[in-house]
Amino acid sequence: MKHILIAGSGFAGVSAIRSLRKEGCTVPITLVAPQPAMVYHPSLIWVPAGLRTQRDIVVPLAGFFRRYRVHYVQGSVTGLDPGAHRLQTSAGDMAYERLVIATGGRYLKKLQGIEHTFLPCEGYAPVAAMGDRLNALQGGTLAFGFSGNPSEPSAMRGGPLFEFLLITDTQLRRQGRRDRFDLVFFTPSAEPGKRLGPEAMGRLMREMEQRGIRGHLGHKLKGFASDRVMTEGGDIKSDLTVFIPGMTGPEWVAKSGLPLSAAGFVRADEHCRVPGFEGSVYVAGDAGTFPGPDWMPKQGHLADLQGHTLARNLMGDLRGEYTEHTFRRELICVVDTLDNGILVFRDPKRSAVFGTPALHWSKQLFEKVYLGRCRIGG
Ligand SMILES: Cc1cc2nc3c(=O)[nH]c(=O)nc-3n(C[C@H](O)[C@H](O)[C@H](O)COP(=O)(O)OP(=O)(O)OC[C@H]3O[C@@H](n4cnc5c(N)ncnc54)[C@H](O)[C@@H]3O)c2cc1C
């Protein structure tokens, strides 16, 4: 029997489901994920300032599943036999006719002492803990940094780190205690933010300079201790360290026999099909590596576009037509600072950056609309 199995309920999985049904797909859809909810990562930046709670971040999808006729199975994927069309999960083996991989990426945790840092990308708990620590501190040095994966330029997450840093600065000013803290930005890259485009990089560097944030750039990271960040260019004393490491692919794909990129992501073609498994395995979002410019980000926005693209091509495959829909190569993000928003845009022909307080509000409006559609299944 025709049957679509989707693994993961983030941007990519949700977008694929919505697009499949909107394209007229009547085939049964099963989704397997650890919880029947979407974790909306972009709003984590507002948790330390007390502007979002767990209920705002972890969005239940029961209504969405009802509306789009999705059979939900609670479980985690542990392996795959693509030849036999079987997905291994903690809820047992699952057969599929078409498989959509949307299980996101992982963060590299190899650096010595990484347990002394707050990793603000893995959901609500670490970000809430970071906010508690910040509130408890009377003063000191706060170090914020990110690094990449040398095997793959797109396997990094810099934008949110700028947001956590700039929002912390704004929050401390509002609390009247910024003068008691030294804020330091560190990264092994000498040109951080370069992938956002040349204007954006200059704009973010100026923003930090104006706010009195020190840079410690271009020095390879050696590790962390409870009171410092160690780099080849010297140590940074730190009372609170926030760090976003480079990314790698999902653990379970390693032995799946699927083609993988150098950094361990599932290789996709420009139509979101997996080469060698066309017509049976598709990938969207952070779990995949896609052809395109090396500045192409791992972003919710692209995960949405890829989920939509794979749905259209999967529909073509169901009809027996080989369609070649693809997605726009673009980067769009609003770097929020609480009192302002900086829009960064890049595509193969153009790049632009501009800031206005209205963008802070538009980022929240986007969140409201996006999550409203997930909550009620619109
Ligand atoms: C702090 C922060 C701020 C961000 N801000 C923005 C922004 O402003 N704009 C933007 O476009 N992007 C932003 N991003 C990036 C964006 O959140 C990601 O690119 C996006 O979440 C990727 O979507 P995804 O569906 O591929 O993966 P995820 O959203 O990570 O979803 C993966 C899904 O798979 C599930 N899963 C994981 N492992 C398994 C398994 N083994 N078996 C089954 N299911 C599994 C997870 O539970 C989850 O449901 C931000 C990220 C962070 C961390």
Nearest residue by C-alpha to atom 19 in ligand 1: 299
Q: Assess whether the region 4-105+249-329 and the region 112-247 belong to the same CATH fold.
A: yes
34 lines ligand 1 (CB under 6 A): yes
252 lines ligand 1 (CB under 6 A): yes
Averaged pLDDT for residues 321-343: 96
pLDDT > 80? residue 377? no
In tens, the pLDDT along 145-169 reads 999 999 998 899 999 999 999 999 9
Whole-angstrom distance, CA of residue 303 vs CA of residue 309: 10
332 lines ligand 1 (CB under 6 A): no
Contact between 222 and 230 (Cβ < 8 Å): yes
| Confidence (pLDDT) at 293 | 93
pLDDT band at 1 (very low <50, low <70, confident <90, very high): low
pLDDT band at 378 (very low <50, low <70, confident <90, very high): low
State in Å: Cα 38 to ligand 1 middle. Answer: 9
DSSP secondary-structure letter at 10? S
45 lines ligand 1 (CB under 6 A): yes
pLDDT > 80? residue 62? yes
**Most ligand 1 atoms within 8 A of CB, residue of 255, 299, 374 to mutate:** 299
Structural domain spans, the chain: 4-105+249-329, 112-247
303 lines ligand 1 (CB under 6 A): yes
279 lines ligand 1 (CB under 6 A): no
In tens, the pLDDT along 226-284 reads 999 999 999 999 999 999 999 999 999 999 999 999 999 999 999 999 999 999 999 99
167 lines ligand 1 (CB under 6 A): no
Report angle CA 126, 130, 135 to the nearest 5 degrees. 150
Name residues whose C-beta falls within 8 Å of residue 102's C-beta, 6 or more positions apart in sequence: 6, 7, 8, 9, 10, 12, 13, 16, 283, 284, 285, 287, 303, 307
112-247 sits in which CATH class? alpha beta
- Tokens at 198, concatenated: 């040349």
Report angle CA 276, 277, 279 to the nearest 5 degrees. 130
| Confidence (pLDDT) at 296 | 92
4-105+249-329 sits in which CATH class? alpha beta
Residue 221 pairs in a beta bridge with 231
